[in-house]
Amino acid sequence: MKHTARKRFGQNFLHDQHVINRIISRFHPQQGEFILEIGPGLGALTWPLLDQIDELHAIELDRDLVARFEADPRSSGHLFLHQQAALTFDFSTLTTLPDKLRIIGNLPYNISTPLLFHLLEFAPNIQDMMFMLQKEVVQRITAGPGGKNYGRLSVMLQAQCTIEKILDVSPGAFTPAPKVDSAVVQLTPHTTPVIDIPDSENFALIVKASFKQRRKTLRNNLKGILTESEISAAGVDPSVRAETLSLENFAALAKQMG
């Protein structure tokens, strides 16, 4: 059954067997784990996962791909499909704590950043995540203070997860080939916080506002949220830009909100 990739769904189907093997080997699925795949596509990761585990859940928006999986006898009793947009999916409904999700997927590049922010809302429900992403997004996720790649995504993910880049992937590993390089990254939510964040909403607000206009200083970006004296009281110079701040600096600013 032939399927034509749909641009509106950001479909680029992984086919490189060496890359697939490396991802599965590193993810190391085990029987009894609750594993969820986002965007199974044509099953490049789905079927190798089901070779090692008895049950897999998957979120797929494309109804034609859902029908394709449902018609495949390998799915029966093993693959549980959720036809919904991952951006609106409530991941907390799949498990009851202390059981946690392991999530894997070749994420559509056109929604990867908002999807990562959405997944952060469910960090307590997640054991780990392994994603294929645009290489530029992985560079932003892993960036440290002081560089152009360091921004809101870097801070929010690093505050909640241990992050490890696994491998780079060339465009030729996909059909159709994307116009950008890709990379695989593993995100493991912290079981013990790496920084003290008494109020997560205040922290998220401060980070978002600080990077609102990258070329502006904190004094300007945080106007109406914190005064200059409050910024200084956090041990931060009001005349610097957000890209120079550490996670601890952002946490200190958030605490000034009370």
Same-domain status, 161 and 222: no
183, with CB counted inside 10 A (0-12, 13-18, 19+), is buried
Query: Is 195 inside any structural domain?
Result: no
- Nearest Cα residue to 228 out of 238, 215, 213, 239: 238
Residue 9: pLDDT over 80: no
Q: Are residues 70 and 141 in the same domain?
A: yes
Residue 19 and residue 16: Cα distance in Å, rounded?
5
133, 171, 178, 208, 249 from 117: Cα distances, Å: 14, 25, 23, 12, 21
**pTM listed for this prediction:** 0.93
Distance in angstroms (rounded) separating the CA atoms of residues 225 and 246: 19
How many residues would you count in the chain?
A: 258
Q: Are residues 38 and 58 in the same domain?
A: yes
218: domain CATH number is 1.10.8.100
Instruction: Tell whether 129 and 243 lie within a shared domain.
Output: no
Structural domain span for residue 81:
7-189
In a domain, 107, yes or no: yes
Domain co-membership, 167 together with 234: no
Residues 242 and 219 reside in one and the same domain: yes
pLDDT (tens digit per residue) in 154-183: 999 999 999 999 999 999 999 999 999 999
> Residue 118: exposed, middle, or buried by beta-carbon count in 10 A (0-12, 13-18, 19+)?
middle
State how many domains the chain has. 2
Residue 142 has what pLDDT?
A: 97
Q: Kindly state whether residues 114 and 181 are assigned to the same domain.
A: yes
Structure confidence by residue, pLDDT tens digits, 104-114: 999 988 899 99
Handedness of CA 71, 48, 173, 36 (dihedral sign): positive
Q: Are residues 181 and 229 in the same domain?
A: no
Identify the residue whose tokens are 């109804």: 63
pLDDT of residue 97: 85
pLDDT tens column, 101-144: 999 999 988 899 999 999 999 999 999 999 999 999 999 999 99
Q: Is residue 194 part of a domain?
A: no
Last residue of a domain, one of 134, 166, 189: 189
Task: Determine what percent of the chain falls in helix, strand and coil, rounding each to the nearest 5.
Answer: 40, 20, 40
Q: Are residues 219 and 241 in the same domain?
A: yes
- Give CA–CA dist 4/242, Å, rounded: 43
Same domain, 84 and 166: yes
SS3 call for 41? coil
> Is residue 113 a part of any domain in this protein?
yes
Residues 224 and 123 in one domain: no
180 in the same domain as 206: no
